[in-house]
């Protein structure tokens, strides 16, 4: 942790503690009327991945706004279309790692209410949010701005309500009333087609409008420690995926699926878990809800995962590990740090 600077009078640790002690998140700063982004949120520009102002994204050569994210239409899913859809999903997973799904069967009303509930919770008075604010990782319902706030290089312009929903979920009383009913209904809709995965966590994100979006990020570049992530997002924009080494693309659409690190390992690099980020914007707030499908509970510490290598295929590129070991490595490095995959590569 950086010490206080005698020249500037900047005490980073003290400012982080002061922010955390409010238990009101970034939304609390906005409610207090901040017109400048506090220094703890300043992110240095990455020369290899600069972030443009969202108001003029087409003017930056490193961001492609005509998105190359595939759109997969799930209508008429059955024996006749299944091979076609499987081929489309495999192609997207191999090349881009992201795809948008339409005609997926999740009711529009459920998606709209899920996003509305995230907004309701975050826009309630700070006194209503504070009881859920915690840094206790063992709690099944956790509200905070950033889990690695005190060791990350910079804070992020975002607040998150995180819920561990399966295999053992929270009781209704543990979930904020603003989200209580719809969280159970929405996750039931998604789990119908993901029953083979024995863990589900939900991250409900709220990105307040930012007065100086060029100074910070909503989420730093990272990959997901999951098999699959299903993201529900509103139309504000800001999510970007790094589909090539030096090219970011905007990721539009309401329901997005992306490949996670576990699937890249098990496919022996056949499928891609790509870096993605959320740039800050003066529009908004931006609201999204991510469902992370990955092992949890007893399966996380007992079941071993590794590359599935078939005859005449490439040799294994990763060593085997348990989900608990992998997720622990992900947390130890901090959100957005060196990819956890690197630590398990042979």
Tens-place pLDDT, residues 260-316: 999 999 999 999 999 999 999 999 899 999 999 988 888 788 889 999 987 777 899
Q: Is 4 part of any domain?
A: no
Strand partners, 203: 162, 290
Q: Is 82 part of any domain?
A: yes
Tens-place pLDDT, residues 89-101: 999 999 999 999 9
In this prediction, residue 192 has a pLDDT band, given cuts at 50, 70 and 90, of: low
Q: Is 7 part of any domain?
A: no
Task: Determine the structural domain holding residue 235 and report its residue range.
Answer: 12-344
In this prediction, residue 60 has a pLDDT band, given cuts at 50, 70 and 90, of: very low
> CA–CA separation, 346 vs 122, rounded Å?
43
Q: Is 168 part of any domain?
A: yes
Q: Look at residues 34, 334, 56 and name the one whose alpha carbon lies nearest to residue 26.
A: 34
> CA–CA separation, 145 vs 142, rounded Å?
10
Q: Is 184 part of any domain?
A: yes
Close Cβ partners of 172 (under 8 Å, ≥ 6 residues apart): 180, 184
Burial class (CB in 10 A: 0-12, 13-18, 19+), 333: middle
Question: Which pLDDT belongs to residue 220?
Answer: 93
How wide is the angle at C-alpha 65 spanned by C-alphas 60 and 67, nearest 5°?
Answer: 140
- Output the CA torsion sign for 38, 158, 265, 66: negative
Q: Is 265 part of any domain?
A: yes
Structural domain count of the chain: 1
Q: Is 125 part of any domain?
A: yes
pLDDT at 54 over 50: no
Question: Which pLDDT belongs to residue 337?
Answer: 53
Q: Is 330 part of any domain?
A: yes
Q: Between 51 and 332, whose confidence is greater?
A: 332
Query: What is the CATH number for 45?
Result: 2.60.120.330
Share of the chain above pLDDT 70, in %: 86
């Amino acid at each position: 942790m950086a010490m206080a600077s005698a020249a500037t009078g900047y005490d980073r640790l003290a400012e982080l503690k002061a922010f955390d002690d409010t238990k009101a998140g970034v939304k609390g700063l906005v409610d207090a009327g901040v017109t400048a982004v506090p220094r703890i949120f300043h992110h240095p520009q990455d020369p290899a991945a600069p972030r443009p102002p969202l108001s003029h994204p087409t003017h930056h050569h490193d961001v492609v706004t005509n998105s190359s994210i595939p759109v997969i239409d799930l209508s008429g899913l059955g024996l006749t279309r299944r091979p076609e859809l499987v081929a489309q999903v495999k192609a997207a997973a191999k090349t881009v790692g992201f795809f948008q799904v339409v005609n997926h069967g999740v009711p529009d009303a459920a998606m709209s209410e899920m996003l509305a509930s995230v907004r309701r919770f975050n826009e309630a008075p700070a006194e209503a949010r504070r009881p859920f604010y915690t840094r206790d990782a063992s709690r099944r319902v956790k509200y905070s701005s950033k889990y690695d706030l005190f060791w990350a290089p910079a804070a992020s312009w975002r607040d998150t309500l995180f819920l561990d929903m399966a295999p053992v979920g929270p009781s209704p009383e543990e979930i904020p009333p603003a989200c209580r009913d719809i969280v159970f209904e929405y996750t039931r809709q998604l789990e119908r087609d993901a029953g083979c995965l024995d863990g589900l966590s939900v991250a409900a994100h709220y990105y307040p409008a930012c007065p100086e979006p060029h100074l910070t990020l909503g989420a730093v570049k990272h990959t997901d420690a999951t098999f699959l992530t299903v993201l529900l997002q509103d139309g504000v924009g800001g999510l970007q995926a790094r589909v090539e080494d030096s090219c970011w693309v905007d990721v539009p659409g309401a329901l997005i699926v992306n490949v996670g690190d576990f699937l890249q390992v098990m496919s022996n690099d056949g499928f891609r878990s790509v870096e993605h980020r959320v740039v800050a914007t003066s529009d908004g707030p931006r609201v999204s809800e991510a469902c992370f499908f990955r092992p949890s509970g007893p399966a996380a510490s007992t079941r071993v995962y590794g590359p599935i290598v078939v005859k005449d295929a490439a040799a294994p590129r990763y060593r085997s590990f348990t989900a608990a070991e992998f997720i622990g490595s992900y947390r130890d490095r901090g959100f957005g740090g060196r990819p956890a995959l690197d630590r398990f590569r042979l």
